[in-house]
Amino acid sequence: MWFTELAWPPMVILSMLMVVCGWMWSQRRRTSLLIATIISGAGIAGTWLIDELVVTDREQVTASVLTLADDVRRLDLNSTLRFISPREDDLKHQVELGFNLISEIEYLTITDVSVDVFGEGGRARSHFRANGRIHVKGHGDIGHQPTRWELTWQKEGSDWKVVDIERLNPITGETIATLSRGP
């Protein structure tokens, strides 16, 4: 587990240390200051490398939210269903019903993404807003639709799968019916 969510704070601290040690070395020419400068530089590179290589559960779920949203925007039912837990047949059916109602999604913007991991890393809850222009079969363009969602994820093997979907009122945050037109 990485000790900080962002790599920038340790990199900034190490950069300041490297500059100070480098400046002091240029004034005093002490070997220990040169070694501290080199170690600080290596620490910056190491911190960046570790940040790139370590993918936290929160980052995995966030990436899954964005990929799932893109699959929904493209109306790719099979790819979307891959994100739903195999044990959640009712949830899969609900997603299929939603796809059967929509003929086109012109655009879909995902904002306000937050992810909380709990249950010793085995579960996560993502919250996000999805705003888009939707065309409903039989009704045509129903215009811009602001929505707010909360998905519960469960780690199954190495993948995160959706086990619950809750649609929220975009203003009040109260739960509303998943397939309703809106608040």
On whether residue 183 sits in a domain, the answer given is: no
On whether residue 151 sits in a domain, the answer given is: yes
Q: pLDDT per residue over 71-127, tens digit each?
A: 999 999 999 999 999 999 999 999 999 999 888 998 999 999 999 999 887 899 999
Model pLDDT, residue 181: 66
Q: 71 and 36 in one domain?
A: no
Q: 69 and 16 in one domain?
A: no
Any alpha helices (H) in the chain, and if so which ranges? 8-28, 31-53, 57-73, 77-81, 89-101
Distance between CA atoms of 159 and 36, rounded to whole angstroms?
42
* 87: three-class secondary structure by DSSP: coil
Distance between CA atoms of 91 and 83, rounded to whole angstroms?
11
On whether residue 2 sits in a domain, the answer given is: no
Model pLDDT, residue 124: 95
On whether residue 22 sits in a domain, the answer given is: yes
Check: CB of residue 125 under 8 Å from CB of residue 116: yes
Q: 134 and 73 in one domain?
A: yes
Q: pLDDT per residue over 10-26, tens digit each?
A: 999 999 999 999 999 99
Instruction: Read off the DSSP letter of residue 84.
Output: B
Q: Please state the domain count of the chain.
A: 2
- Across the range 153-175, mean pLDDT stands at 92
* pLDDT higher at 48 or 151: 151
Q: Which residue range is the domain that position 43 belongs to?
A: 8-53
User: Please, what is the average pLDDT of the chain?
Assistant: 90
